[in-house]
Amino acid sequence: MENVIHEECGVFGVFSPDTKDVASLCYYGLFALQHRGQESAGIVVNDDGVFNYLKDTGLVSQIFDAERLSKLGPGNMAVGHVRYGTTGSGDRKNAQPIVVNHLKGNMALAHNGNLVNSYELRTELEEQGSIFHSTSDTEVIAYVITKERLHTKNIEDAVCEALGRLEGAYSLIIMSPSKLIAARDPHGFRPLCYGQRDDGTYIIASETCALDAVNARFIREIEPGEVVTITKDGIKSNREHCGGKKSFCVFEYLYIARPDSICEGCSVHAARIRAGELLAEAYPIDADIVVGVPDSGTDAAIGYSHRSGIPYDIGLIKNKYIGRTFIAPAQGLREEMVSIKLNVVRPVIEGKRVILVDDSIVRGTTCAKIVKRLREGGAAEVHLLSSAPKYLNPCYYGVDIDTRETLIAANHPTEEIAKIVGADSIHFLSIEDVKKITGGDGTGFCYACFDGLYPTKTPTNAEKSRFERKISTNPKFADRYK
Ligand code: AMP
């Protein structure tokens, strides 16, 4: 049942006062968001209402080159997307942005997050005759908006109406022939912000690091439940869905977002440093060096070192030319890729009692391999610290967290986990402490993967292949005919 659909994505939008090479701006923005998804990417350029687009599987740099970008042509708006999804993964049909032609015009849509009611919505739409081409719930969002558009006076009103129907996590960028719209679900699970370049071009992006990449000055975050519409006449905002229980994903700080981004007013780097400091306060360990698992464990390792006084050193080197291990969704391949990706710096490790800091321990397979490598490299002791609390529950809001059966902390007590991964000791940041990492009182965040307190209803059907089952001719899904 808890085989969840996964979408860790990045979205990017451009609105320029004049016609220019918006495709390249979008390309640079997506490049800066590549860490949010490496499976597919796409750019849609709007040239006076004509949408030109290219989307494919692969990294941004593999899909786009100068020639392909120039073929997208000049325009005054663009929407881009990077995707990591395991539903129909590797499949071009799920690449975004989605482009649709509806009764009132064109629309391009880029989405980050996961709905919790997409199964019900899709079933309802199918019963009314809708035909779906993909297996991602983004197409469901596109249908809901275009249906609302039939009886609203403009696209932004249709988006506002849709917000009342969509439940779960969604940070959206929507492009119509004349408007660029940013919308965030009322809980604000995923980040979304906007800024402006000196030439007047507005930029909407998942993270501030993408604004920096295109020299845009950060203006503000889109508020949870807000719909922001950019037109030639300026910006307007609709807040009729604001005021819900804010639940920003705390895992954005620990793992997903880039350390140079600011989310909800808090630096991701600073939050990770604090997580490391809190680990040092909670678990003082007699050791010689602190080593972070690159890249997402590095900041917390520095924090541990600062607070404990134990020197930080670079004991692991990451091959920069390989994507995140999770580029390969199949577990077998993923395990092999760990050794290609990380290597030990022997002189740093040899004979040392090592404190190894990782951002999170999910299945325990990656860290087991890293601990083994450190031991092979001559480490005298390895104490493993996780800057995330114990992963006990699946995420329904867009983070690829596996079934509960494979979550190591959900199935083994702490001492047993240490034995399984081969560490001398293992410690996790406590839930009380993770609430302190952003420097506030800890309210306004979602901790469901750690504490099981979901801010919304949970999906009735969270099966990974729930939509594949609907469209597949594969005999394993034959029960759909019953
Ligand atoms: P494992 O314990 O083998 O599942 O691997 C955990 C490591 O994978 C962490 O140290 C993270 O760097 C990384 N990770 C954490 N969350 C995710 C995720 N949602 N998808 C892919 N990798 C992740």
190-235 pLDDT per residue, tens: 999 999 999 999 999 999 999 999 999 999 999 999 999 999 999 9
Residues 201 and 298 in one domain: no
Work out the pLDDT band at 327, boundaries 50, 70, 90: very low
Is residue 316 in contact with ligand 1, taking CB distance under 6 Å? no
CA distance 316 to 406: 26
In a domain, residue 68? The reply is yes
Q: Which residue, 214, 246, 278, sits at the end of a domain?
A: 246
Q: State percent of the chain over pLDDT 90.
A: 82
Position 88 scores a pLDDT of 47
Residues, the chain, total? 482
The answer to whether residue 418 scores a pLDDT higher than 90 is yes
The answer to whether residue 478 scores a pLDDT higher than 90 is no
In a domain, residue 253? The reply is no
Atom in ligand 1 nearest the alpha carbon of residue 365 = 3
Position 163 scores a pLDDT of 98
Assign residue 186 the CATH number of its domain. 3.60.20.10
Paired tokens of 97: 């942005």
Residues 156 and 241 in one domain: yes
Assign residue 413 the CATH number of its domain. 3.40.50.2020
Enclosing domain of residue 171: 10-246
Q: Residue 111: count other Cβ atoms within 10 Å of its Cβ.
A: 31
Nearest protein Cα to ligand 1, atom 21: 326
Position 321 scores a pLDDT of 78
In a domain, residue 463? The reply is no
Provide the Cα torsion 65, 70, 71, 76; round to 10°.
120
Contacts (Cβ under 8 Å, ≥6 apart) of 142: 98, 100, 107, 109
In a domain, residue 461? The reply is no
How many angstroms is it from 291 CA to the middle of ligand 1? 17
Q: Which residue, 246, 261, 282, sits at the end of a domain?
A: 246
The crossing angle, in degrees rounded to 10, of helices 138-149 and 155-163 is 120
Rounded average pLDDT over 457-477: 60
385 has which bridge partners?
Answer: 357, 427
Rounded average pLDDT over 86-114: 85
Work out the pLDDT band at 437, boundaries 50, 70, 90: very high
Give me the phi and psi of 281, to 5 degrees please: -70, -40
Work out the pLDDT band at 340, boundaries 50, 70, 90: confident
In a domain, residue 466? The reply is no
Atom in ligand 1 nearest the alpha carbon of residue 293 = 10
Per annotation, catalytic residue among 9, 26, 395, 449: 9
Is residue 400 in contact with ligand 1, taking CB distance under 6 Å? yes
Work out the pLDDT band at 480, boundaries 50, 70, 90: very low
In a domain, residue 470? The reply is no
Instruction: Answer left, alpha or beta for residue 412, where phi above 0 means left and psi between -120 and 50 means alpha.
Output: beta
In a domain, residue 275? The reply is yes
Instruction: Answer left, alpha or beta for residue 422, where phi above 0 means left and psi between -120 and 50 means alpha.
Output: left
Residues 161 and 18 in one domain: yes
Residues 239 and 291 in one domain: no
Rounded average pLDDT over 386-395: 96
Residues 297 and 189 in one domain: no
How many angstroms is it from 176 CA to the middle of ligand 1? 37
DSSP string, 405-468: GG-HHHHS-HHHHHHHHT-SEEEE--HHHHTTTTSS-STTEE-HHHH---SSPPPS---TTHHH
Residues 239 and 298 in one domain: no
User: For 222, which DSSP code?
Assistant: P
CA distance 204 to 181: 9
78 has which bridge partners?
Answer: 14, 45
More confident residue, 321 or 414: 414
In a domain, residue 431? The reply is yes
The answer to whether residue 260 scores a pLDDT higher than 70 is yes
Q: How many folded domains does the chain comprise? A: 2
Q: What is the mean pLDDT of the chain?
A: 91
Residues 225 and 324 in one domain: no
pTM here?
A: 0.92
pLDDT digits 0-9 by tens, 278-326: 999 999 999 999 999 999 999 999 999 999 999 999 999 998 877 544 4
Residues 352 and 239 in one domain: no
Position 464 scores a pLDDT of 57
Residues 234 and 314 in one domain: no
83 has which bridge partners?
Answer: 9, 40
The answer to whether residue 401 scores a pLDDT higher than 90 is no
Rounded average pLDDT over 54-60: 94
Is residue 357 in contact with ligand 1, taking CB distance under 6 Å? no
CA distance 185 to 247: 10
Residues 83 and 218 in one domain: yes
Paired tokens of 100: 């649709």
Is residue 366 in contact with ligand 1, taking CB distance under 6 Å? yes
Position 3 scores a pLDDT of 37
The answer to whether residue 76 scores a pLDDT higher than 90 is yes
Residues 199 and 60 in one domain: yes
Position 402 scores a pLDDT of 66
Residues 282 and 169 in one domain: no
How many angstroms is it from 310 CA to the middle of ligand 1? 26
